[in-house]
Amino acid sequence: MFGVLALISKGLRRVIIAQMLEINERIDYLNDIKMVAAKNVRESNFELLRIVLMLLVLLIHYTPVRIADMTGGISLTDSIWKDLANLELKSLSIVCVNCFVLISGYFGIKLKLRSFLNLLFQMVYWSAICVAFAATAYKVFGPPASPSYLSAFFSNIVSGWFPEAYLILFVLSPLLNAFIKSCSEKELGRYIILFYLLSTIGGYLMRFNNFNEGMSAMSLAGLYLIGAYLRITTLKIFALKAKYDLMLYLGLGVCMVVLSVLLISVGITSSPYGYLNPVVIVMSIYLFLFFKKINIGHSKVINYFSASAFSIYLFHYNPIVFGWICKMWTWINENFGVMSSLLVAFLSFIAIYLFCVVIDRIRILIYSRCVDRCLPN
Q: Tens of pLDDT along 23-56?
A: 444 444 334 334 434 444 678 999 999 999 999 9
With a cut of 60, say whether residue 16 has pLDDT above it. Answer: no
Lowest mean pLDDT among 62-66, 218-222, 342-346: 62-66
Which residues have C-beta within 8 Å of that of residue 245, sequence separation ≥ 6? 286, 287, 289, 290, 293
φ, ψ dihedrals at 269, nearest 5°: -100, 0
pLDDT at residue number 80: 77
Contact criterion met (CB below 8 Å) for 263 and 321:
no
pLDDT at residue number 136: 81
Q: How confident is the model at residue 69 (pLDDT cuts 50, 70, 90)?
A: very low
Q: How far apart are CA 39 and CA 109, in angstroms?
A: 14
Give percent of the chain with pLDDT exceeding 70. 82
Mean pLDDT, rounded, for 208-235 = 95
Q: How far apart are CA 88 and CA 318, in angstroms?
A: 26
Q: Mutual orientation of helices 161-182 and 96-107 as an angle, nearest 10°?
A: 40
With a cut of 70, say whether residue 205 has pLDDT above it. Answer: yes
Express each pLDDT in 313-354 by its tens digit: 999 999 888 988 999 999 999 999 888 999 999 999 999 999
Q: How far apart are CA 140 and CA 215, in angstroms?
A: 35
With a cut of 60, say whether residue 68 has pLDDT above it. Answer: no
Global pTM?
Answer: 0.84
Give percent of the chain with pLDDT exceeding 90. 61
pLDDT at residue number 2: 43
DSSP 334: H
With a cut of 60, say whether residue 298 has pLDDT above it. Answer: yes
pLDDT at residue number 78: 53
